[in-house]
Structure 1
Amino acid sequence: MEPFLTRSYRQDRIAVRGGDLTVGVWEPVAGLDDDAVAAVTPHPPITPTTGYTAVEPPAAAEVPTGPRTILLLHGLTGHHQAFLAVADRLDAYRVLAPDLRGRGQSYPLLGPYGMAAHADDLAQVLEAEEARDVVVVGYSMGGLAALVLAHRYPGLVQSLVLLDMWLPRLAFPSEDRDATVSHIFAPLFATIERRYASLDEYHRFWERSGRFDAPLSEQARAALDYALHGREPELGIRVQQRAAWDDAIEVMGAEDVLAALNGLSHPARLLWHRAGHAEGAAAWDIADSAESWASLLPTLTAVEYPADRRIPLFTDDGVARIRAAVDELARS
């Protein structure tokens, strides 16, 4: 079911440097009855112990008693409608989800890109939407933007959920940083360089990718179609290539990102699995990185979850785990 059929949804345009940022806004559903609550909370929240845990089992569910703002930040080549299923599950909350600079309807915004630029844009969004004490959910690259937002504007953020976030590391002394980034992110770069002759070809491409259920769900199809621009036979994905490159390079130890991670003081949950980003990327040891950072940072808990290659934003288990983590942090 489309989220905008069950709750209020709109797109706001927020003035930022160089133009406007598009933000999807879902307002909370008032007066959920018992049947509605049961329908949106079938998967209980995760209550991990302090530090690092592996495949933590869920605990008892609890629905928040009042609306709180949740900020959803998409990945490197994403946009706000990648969160359709997540926003639907978070119907007890007010949800803000921007198209980050250079993506989606914010595609016309030029650089500078990078996590500091995204954080500054996001601070403008939260100010314009009068949001405080926000729980920020960052998927993949969005997790890095969430960290830098919390570091640069600590008063706006209450806590963080970092889903499948690339844990940054410094380049080795003899390493060609550009070559490493090109290799690891090659599949993502290829999707934004590719052209599709028709909408059907585009849908078949993503069904064969293994990143979505086949046939595509209504939410996956809506999210994929939102990303398109151009006309047949030259359809493309609405992502500035320079934005994708400048943001990807920051996983190699950008100063802003490392400072934000080292200085993390907000409660944070890192949810990760071995299949997705780590696949074919031997330069990163995800398990060791998660365990190391969780042992160093007292407010960070790393939780591994079992998953396959599908994008967790579109799986029942992935969406439920996001809701569980948000519920836990919103109560703290």
Structure 2
Amino acid sequence: MIPYEEIRVPVAGGELAALRWPARDAGAPVVVALHGITANALSWGAVARLLAGRVTLVAPDLRGRAGSSGLPGPYGIAAHADDAAALAGALGQDRVVLAGHSMGAFVAALAAVRHPDRFGPVVLVDGGFGFPAPTHLSADELMTAVIGPAMDRLSMTFPDRDAYRSFWRAHPAFAGDAWSPEVDAYIQRDLNGEEPALRSGCRLEAVRTDGVGLFQDEVLAAAGELPGPAVLLWARRGLMDEEQGLYDESRLAAAGQPGTNVTAVPVEDVNHYTVLTGDKGAGEIAGALLRAVAVPR
């Protein structure tokens, strides 16, 4: 783990919590990085380490999660996009590079479209291109289809931090050497309350609203409307480490990625989680971010 500082910035309804990993050089570029639907800012810990102080990385806890769990609604992808723009403005930077993983990739794409004066190049990680929602599913059924067991834990309680650690260590995506001190710190940041009744700090209302919002036309269209250069790093394997990931070449074609400003790059031997938290995936992301900050803006 490398040192970071916690900051808070004003947004609609209160203050957004964020983690800041400062660059060695005070004049270095800034990257804003957005996490997934039930994650938090520390999911970017491995990327911060591999960036090695060459940029300043700032990752917020999105509204309704971890340090920002007290922020009220309205929730939704557009609300997160506006929060990201407020964060970029508070950092005093012009057109920062923007990154997002999973749901955060959809937020990043929409933020860059809604606030082109705030953001420059975009790096999407296993998210950003979506598909219309099946019309026969209820909101909760849709959410279960999208994020599965991650949804279940939001209504669970845990007697202590070791129990929560054991819950996550049993997840197929974190089997074997996929676990690390950075992953442990990330999942522990999620917990709220006191023993023996610890629970996730993700607000269920926020997760439901955001999950359904992923299928709104404005959100589905955003990645295809990005005005500048962008890259999508997509994992070959899925949320449960299954062989079929969220994307493959045919799914990306169906989602309309070819012909956009987004270059799609597969990342081998990673799943939806380890594309961000493991060294291989985090290294690919760090490299993409360093290339992005070098693009004239």
Normalised by the length of structure 2, the TM-score is 0.89
Percent same amino acid at aligned positions?
30
CA distance in 1, matches of 2:67, 2:240: 29
Match of 1:118 among 77, 80, 88: 80
2:21 counterpart of 1:26: yes
Q: 1:327 corresponds to which residue? A: 290
Structure 2 matches for 1:193-208, cutoff 5 A? 193-208=155-170
Q: Is the 8 A contact 2:270 2:280 kept in 1?
A: no
Query: Shift of the alpha carbon at 1:279?
Result: 6.7
Question: Cα deviation per residue 1:105-158 (whole Å; 9 max; x = unaligned)?
Answer: 100112111111011111111111102221111000000000111011001111
Q: 2:192 corresponds to which residue? A: 229
Q: Secondary structure at the match of 1:296?
A: coil
Residue segments in structure 2 that go unaligned for 5+ positions in a row: none
Q: Is the 8 A contact 2:77 2:210 kept in 1?
A: yes
Match of 1:317 among 274, 277, 280: 280
Match of 2:5 among 5, 10, 20: 10
Structure 2 matches for 1:94-173, cutoff 5 A? 94-165=56-127, 167-172=129-134
Q: How many residues align?
A: 290
Q: Is the 8 A contact 1:165 1:272 kept in 2?
A: yes
CA distance in 2, matches of 1:221, 1:97: 17
Q: 2:222 corresponds to which residue? A: 260
Structure 2 matches for 1:271-282, cutoff 5 A? 271-277=233-239
CA distance in 1, matches of 2:15, 2:223: 28
Letter of the 1:250 partner, please give it: G
Shift in alpha-carbon separation, 1:106–1:156, aligned structure 2, 3 A: same
Question: Cα deviation per residue 1:41-98 (whole Å; 9 max; x = unaligned)?
Answer: xxxxxxxxxxxxxxxxxxxxxxxxx711111100001111111121122220011110
CA RMSD of aligned residues (A): 2.4
CA distance in 1, matches of 2:226, 2:239: 23
Question: Cα deviation per residue 1:192-244 (whole Å; 9 max; x = unaligned)?
Answer: 22211221111111111133355742212211211111122211111000111
CA distance in 2, matches of 1:307, 1:88: 20
Shift in alpha-carbon separation, 1:242–1:204, aligned structure 2, 3 A: same
2:47 counterpart of 1:86: yes
CA distance in 2, matches of 1:81, 1:285: 25
Q: 2:29 corresponds to which residue? A: 68
Residue segments in structure 1 that go unaligned for 5+ positions in a row: 32-65
Structure 2 matches for 1:34-49, cutoff 5 A? none
Q: 1:296 corresponds to which residue? A: 259
Which 4+ residue blocks in structure 1 deviate beyond 6 angstroms? Answer: 278-282
Shift in alpha-carbon separation, 1:285–1:316, aligned structure 2, 3 A: closer
Higher relative contact order (CA 8 A, sep 6+): 1
**Larger Rg computed on CA atoms:** 1
Query: Shift of the alpha carbon at 1:186?
Result: 2.5
